[in-house]
Amino acid sequence: MNIHEYQAKELFDRFEVPSPRGQMAETAEDALKIAQEINSDLMVVKAQVHAGGRGKGTFKNGFEGGVHLTKSAEDIGALAGKMIGQTLVTKQTGEEGKLVRKVMVADAVDIKHEYYLAVLMDRETSRPVIVASTEGGMDIEEVAESSPEKILRVFIHPLAGLQAHQVRKLIVGLGLKGPAAKAFGKVLKNLYRLFTSLDCDMVEINPLVETPDGEVLALDAKFGFDDNALYRHPEVEAYRDIEEEDPREVAAAEFDLSYIGLDGNIACLVNGAGLAMATMDAIKFSGGDPANFLDVGGGATEAQVKGAFNIIQSDPKVEAILINIFGGIMDCNVIAQGVVAAVKETGLKLPLVVRLEGNNVAAGRETLTASGLAITGADDLADAAKKAVAAV
C-alpha cells in the first residue's frame, strides 16, 4: 500500500523526522487559508497523487508542473485551483496520468543541498538496506545508471539494527559536517525506527535537504507498506486511498484474490503463484502480453472464481482469456462451475482458452462442455499460450 505525501508528513512528525510545516487542502479556498496561516516569505503548493516526478510533470490541459513555489498566499490559492480536478502526467503515472484531488501547501525551505535517502527491503540479502546519495532531487534511477559510484548502500542486520558505525559511514560518504552531520544522524535513526515499527517495505525521501543553518528536512516522501502486516497498523491502513489504486486490484482484494494488473491483452486465471508466473512467461514466449497476474489460490470457491472472471471481463484492455488450472488441492470442477456461473450473468465476450489438468478434471471438462460455451481446449501450457496469442 502507498500513501500521500501529506500523510507521510504525519508519520514523520510522529517519529521526529523533520519536514516543513504544511497541510492538505481539497479546494483552492482551503489552500489559500492554509497559506495565509503559514504566512511565510516563500511557500510551496504540491499536487498529491501516488506517484513521483510531480515537479517535472505536465497536466493534460497543458499546465506545467505539479510543484510550485511562490511568495504570496493568493498565488498559492490560484495555483491550487489550476491543479485540483486536473490530470497530472509524470514519468511514474503512465500516459493516462492521475487525477489530482488534493494538494499540500507547505513552507518553502532554503536549500543548501539536496540529498537522496531511502530505506528499502532488499530481497537478495533479506534485510533492510539504506540507500543514500549526494545527487538528490533528481531521478535516482538515472544517477544509478550514469554515476553508480555516487550511490551508497548500507545493509542492516535486522536483529542488530542500525549501528553507530553505519551512521558514521553514511555521514562521511555524503560529506556532511558540523550541525548538519548531527542532524542527519538523528534523521537516519528515526527514519529506520519508523521503517521497522510500521512494517514498511520502502521509505524514500527525495530530496532530503540541508539548509544553510545546518538543519536537515524531508521535502518529499514515498512510502510502501507490507500489505501482509497492515493488520498490525490500523492507523496506517486508514490512510488507504482507493481512488489512487488500480480499480481492478481493488475489486480483486474484495474477493481475496492475489491479482496484479499489467498492460497486456491476454488475461490469465491460474491457481498457484508459481504456475501463474509460468503462464505469463509462456504467453511472453509465444509472443503475447499478459494483462494480469492472477492466482485464485489452492482453495478458491466458486464465488471467488466468478469474481475473478468478472474482473477479467470488465478490463477493457483484455482481448482473450487463458485459464490454466493444475488441480491439486483445487478441484477443477469448482473452477469450471465458477466460470460458467460468471458467463451466465455477463455472457462470454472474448475468446476463452482453457487448460485443465489434475484433481476432478473429468467433471470440470464435463461442466464446461455441458455449458455450450465456445471454449478452445488446450493440451498443455505451451499449447494454451499459443492458442491465446493466436486469438488476439
**Location of C-alpha cell 489460490:** 297
Closest CA to 383 of 357, 347, 364: 357
Distance, in Å, from the CA atom of 243 to the CA atom of 250, rounded to the nearest integer, reads 9
Which residue has the CB atom at the shortest distance from Mg ion? 220
Q: Kindly state whether residue 30 participates in binding Mg ion, applying the rule CB under 5 A.
A: no
Of 30 and 204, the one with the shorter C-beta distance to Mg ion is 204
The sign of the CA dihedral 40, 137, 240, 11 is: negative
Nearest Cα to 52, choosing from 141, 150, 145, 112?
141
Q: Contact between 88 and ligand ADP (CB under 6 A)?
A: no
Catalytic hit among 204, 210, 244, 302: 204
From the list ligand ADP, Mg ion, none, partner contacted by residue 185 (C-beta under 5 to 8 A by kind): none
- In terms of phi and psi (left: phi > 0; alpha: psi -120 to 50; beta: otherwise), the region of 339 is alpha
Size of the site for ligand ADP (CB under 6 A): 19
Query: Residue 111 or 278: which CB sits closer to ligand ADP?
Result: 111
One character per residue 23-52, x = contact with ligand ADP (rule: CB under 6 A): ---------------------x-x-----x
- Select the binding partner of residue 358 from ligand ADP, Mg ion, none (C-beta < 5 to 8 A, by kind): none
Which residue's CB is nearer to Mg ion, number 57 or number 351?
57
Task: Output 175-183 pairs: Cβ under 8 A, ≥24 positions apart.
Answer: 175/134, 176/210, 178/214, 179/213, 179/214, 179/215, 180/210, 180/214, 180/215, 180/216, 183/18, 183/214, 183/215, 183/216
Residue 206 C-beta: closest distance to Mg ion, Å: 4
Cβ 109 to ligand ADP shortest distance, Å = 4
Which of 7, 166, 206, 265 lies at the binding interface for Mg ion (CB under 5 A)?
Answer: 206
5 makes contact with Mg ion (CB under 5 A): no
Q: Which does 65 bind (CB under 5 to 8 A by kind): Mg ion, ligand ADP, none?
A: none
Q: Is position 53 an interface residue for ligand ADP (rule: CB under 6 A)?
A: yes
- Cell matching residue 285: 514466449
At residue 69, what are phi and psi to the nearest 5 degrees? -100, 140
Residue 192 annotated to the active site: no
| Nearest C-alpha neighbor of 166 from the set 140, 132, 137 | 132
CA 361 and chain centroid, separation? 37
User: Is residue 220 a contact point for ligand ADP (CB under 6 A)?
Assistant: yes
Provide φ and ψ at 43, rounded to 5°: -130, 165
What is the smallest separation between the CB atom of 203 and ligand ADP, expressed in angstroms?
Answer: 14
- Is 345 tagged catalytic? no
> What is 282-351 written as a DSSP string?
HHHHTT--BSEEEE--TT--HHHHHHHHHHHHH-TT--EEEEEEEESSS-HHHHHHHHHHHHHHH---S-
Burial of 37 (0-12, 13-18, 19+ CB in 10 A): exposed
Residue of 6, 115, 116, 192 with catalytic role: 116
| 1 Cβ contact list (under 8 Å, min separation 6) | 224, 225, 227, 230, 236, 237, 239, 240
Considering the rule CB under 6 A, would residue 198 count as an interface residue with ligand ADP? no
Of 114, 135, 220, 302, the one binding Mg ion by CB under 5 A? 220
Min dist. Cβ of residue 139 to Mg ion (A): 9
Per CB under 6 A, 20 contacts ligand ADP = yes
Q: Do residues 350 and 321 lie in contact, with contact meaning Cβ atoms separated by under 8 Å?
A: yes
Task: Build a one-symbol-per-residue string for 107-146: x at contacts with ligand ADP by CB under 6 A, - elsewhere.
Answer: -xx-x--x----------------------x---------
Q: Which region among 119-127, 145-153, 201-209, 252-260 touches Mg ion (by CB under 5 A)?
A: 201-209
Residues that bind Mg ion (CB under 5 A): 206, 220
Provide the annotated active-site residues.
116, 204
Residues that bind ligand ADP (CB under 6 A): 20, 44, 46, 52-55, 67, 69, 106, 108-109, 111, 114, 137, 206-207, 219-220
